[in-house]
Amino acid sequence: MPAEDEDGNIPVGEVPGFEFSGYVVSTSPRSPFCPGTEVYGRTSFRRPGVARTYMAAKFQEMARKPLSMTWEQSAAVPLGGVIAFRALFEYNLIHQPALRDWGKGAWARGYNQGTSLLITGGATPAGLWAVQFAKLAGVGRIVATCPPDQMDLVLQLGADEALDWALFDGLGGWNGMFFGAVLDFVGGPTLPHAWRCVGPGGKILSAVGDTAKARPRVTSRNISHSNFVLAHASQKQLDIISSLSHRGLVRAVLDPQDVFEFADYEAALERLRTNPRGQVVLKM
């Protein structure tokens, strides 16, 4: 069960964690899950506390665990996977394929093949999923910023180019190239640079920053911008991720150094504060 916090801080007196994987022990008559079902999911940010042996969640917040993933891998999927999915498709940065069409070139040529996409923070949990989803949806050109030691991974998952994030900020953007869509997972000083990469008629969405406040004075007026809000339950998106994983089209990325036994929770929280991905997994 991951324990994570945007600033690496755990409120005093609270049991941490929103993402989980485990067995269903008991359920309501309305639930589609019977006792013994292997599930994974994410509770509301108003209800942390999954880092315990027994925890409660709404059935709309979970889905069947992908058989192709370990318990640890599946516990680390829901937040990053759902953020990436919704950012790309519910905010209309790119077209969402029908479930049967993921990864099929014929479908992509009619929709996303002409799209260019820049992902800042391509090695974050959400960024890694965004790269995979965009590739499967047939995006013609995917460029992701990340630390140098993560470039090979980002390229393996589907990016056409990986750019050192520090170099990206230093150049003030992507060296004169414009993109039809920009998805930001970094915020801060990176966001104005990302703005400068949006071409006329393009779109920019930030999951962590305020796009309106970050907009440089000199940009094309014909650009749509949004701030991502993760508001509702995740079952639909998790079901799609499970299906894609079962078909071998996506994979969960989890560093073994980020997995801890519950007895080592102090070391886990210390790792959380220093981990660039902002995520650890506790085994209960």
Every domain of the chain and the residues it spans = 19-77+252-283, 87-227
Q: Which pLDDT does position 6 carry in this prediction?
A: 42
pTM: predicted TM-score of the whole model, two decimal places: 0.90
* Helix/strand/coil for 31: coil
Q: Which pLDDT does position 7 carry in this prediction?
A: 42
Amino acid identity, position 35: P
Q: Which pLDDT does position 217 carry in this prediction?
A: 79
- Range 19-77+252-283: architecture per CATH: Alpha-Beta Complex (3.90)
Order of all β-strands in the sheet with 116-120: 161-164, 141-146, 116-120, 179-184, 198-206, 224-227
Q: How far apart are CA 47 and CA 49, in angstroms?
A: 7
Q: How far apart are CA 48 and CA 78, in angstroms?
A: 14
Q: Which pLDDT does position 108 carry in this prediction?
A: 62
**Fold match between 19-77+252-283 and 87-227?**
no
Phi, psi angle pair for 279, to nearest 5°: -155, 135
Q: Which pLDDT does position 183 carry in this prediction?
A: 97
Running along the chain, 284 residues long, what does each successive block of 10 average in pLDDT? 44 75 93 95 88 90 95 95 95 90 71 93 97 95 95 98 84 71 94 89 93 80 82 85 95 94 90 83 91
Amino acid identity, position 195: W
- Which residues touch 81 (CB under 8 Å, ≥6 apart)? 125, 126, 129, 237, 238, 241
Length of the chain: 284
Residue with tokens 């006329």: 200
CATH fold of 87-227, please?
Answer: Rossmann fold (3.40.50)
